[in-house]
Chain A
């Protein structure tokens, strides 16, 4: 029915899971780069140096204004044309998602730090904490509690957006789905529905579980 049987034909099921695996690997690599880099940039954005702040602001706005697809094309095709770099689709994807992730993450960090009331610093100071102790025991724990749910949401957005990387030739879950549908066009004309439905379920599973966790943490710490 609806071409769902196509999913279980041959190695199709495993290929689709493999495609999801590729998407998740790209996301994971980008997350592992984005989070520390984003924290560093966010702390700088919350700091006092106006030049650094202005540069980071421009970087953040640039990344936000550009559609991710344009960034992917720019890195994948653009660097080949101009500098002759031969980046694979996967590497280009990780670069773009790391740029995007670190920019978004830096804004989350900046916002979380700015959301700590001035009085938290003052009451710490009046209790005799040194500036370092204040950061370690009071500011950072509160910032992390704000950040974890926000970062999980960012990660799920990244996972979803990896569906674009098929446009630069990366064989991820959506590309595999297209290939399966093409190959079965004659025998199972309905396959598009069943296969894309399955892709939906895969994305849903990959994003829903972290979303639940984020919501749980948000409620616990609010």
Chain B
């Protein structure tokens, strides 16, 4: 069977620098894939390639059989960014409904009805008329998730969505993503939250230096990874006690 997302021999270069080298990933419908790796390993670039924000120098990316950059239906992919990137001149409701109204040509009433339902689901009822600058980081990010959801993407990409948040706001955002996993959404998540990764992933892919170094179910990856590199990486998240 073929996956919802198929990445075949993907190569991405900036000038002479190779960012991604011969990446092969298949993501099936309903699957949650977590991408881990040290900073600068190319994991964010990978998501940006899938969302056609970067051109690629080799290989191909297929969404539901359509090739990205050559006629793939990009509305099947939704992305949430680290820096929220809500539109500052629009209130929450307009931020969310602008794309369904203008891109999908839905009526305002129809789009707003769905937006209100989704906002309720992420705990943002009552914030419809607020402007982004009036929201906390966590609230902004939840609104940004709703903005992506209302376009009904089949694949959701999360690019370090909690990296810019204060620690106490991380959880409220991750809860929303866990809820999406319960709804069997197909997702690719780049994160540094190891506990979250362990809880949500069906599969963990570790990237280092632009290549996949390990691909395993989380039970395996977090307890007995196959590679030395993965073990080293996981050790950077634990601390040895200095108490005597």
A residues near B, CB below 8 A?
117, 119-120, 122-129, 133, 137-138, 141-142, 145, 221
| Bound CA span A221–B132, Å | 12
Q: How far is the CA of A137 from the CA of B103 in the complex (A)?
A: 11
Residue of B nearest to A222 (CB): B133
Whether B81 and A119, one on each chain, are in contact in the complex, defined by CB atoms closer than 8 angstroms, is yes
Complex alpha-carbon distance, A221 and B85, angstroms: 17
Q: In the complex, which residue of chain B has the Cβ closest to the Cβ of A128?
A: B103
Neighbour of A122 across the interface among B81, B103, B148, CB < 8 A: B81
Q: Name the contact of B103 in the complex, choosing from A119, A133, A142 (C-beta under 8 A).
A: A133
In the complex, the answer to whether B74 meets A128 with C-beta atoms within 8 Å is yes
Q: Which residues of B contact A141 (CB under 8 A)?
A: 89
**Cα–Cα, bound, A170→B77 (Å):** 64
Q: Is the CB of A128 within 8 A of B151?
A: yes
Instruction: Report how many residues on chain B are interfacial, defined by Cβ distance under 8 Å.
Output: 23
Name, among B52, B102, B148, the residue most crowded by chain A CB atoms within 10 Å (CB to CB).
B102
Counting CB contacts under 8 A, is B83 at the interface? yes
Is B191 interfacial (CB-CB < 8 Å)?
no
Question: With A126-B79, A127-B148, A129-B103 in contact, is A120–B87 under 8 Å at CB?
Answer: yes
Q: Is B165 an interface residue (CB 8 A)?
A: no
* A126 and B53 form a contact (CB under 8 A): yes
- Our count of residue pairs bridging A and B at CB distance below 8 angstroms stands at 53
B51 within 8 A of A: yes
B78 and chain A: residue at smallest CB distance: A126
Collect the chain B residues with CB atoms within 8 Å of residue A126's CB: 51, 53, 74, 77-79, 148
Q: Assess whether A128 is in contact with B88, with CB atoms less than 8 Å apart.
A: no
Partner of B99 from the list A119, A128, A142, A145 (CB cut-off 8 Å) is: A128
14 contacts between A and B (CB under 8 A): A119-B81, A119-B83, A119-B85, A120-B85, A123-B85, A124-B87, A127-B99, A127-B148, A128-B74, A128-B151, A129-B103, A133-B103, A137-B98, A142-B87
- Complex Cα–Cα for A138 and B103 (A): 13
Distance of A137 Cα from B97 Cα, bound (Å): 12
Nearest residue in B to A140 (C-beta to C-beta)?
A: B89
Give, as a whole number of angstroms, the nearest-CB distance from B193 to chain A: 22
Partner of A129, one of B88, B89, B99: B99
Q: In this complex, what residue of A is CB-closest to B94?
A: A137
Q: Does B147 contact A (CB under 8 A)?
A: yes
Report the separation of the CA atoms of residues A128 and B152 in the bound assembly, to the nearest whole angstrom.
Answer: 12
Tell me which residues across on chain A come within 8 A of B151, comparing CB atoms. Answer: 127-128
State the CA gap A142–B77 with chains docked (Å): 26
Closest chain-B Cβ to A98's Cβ sits at a distance in Å of 30
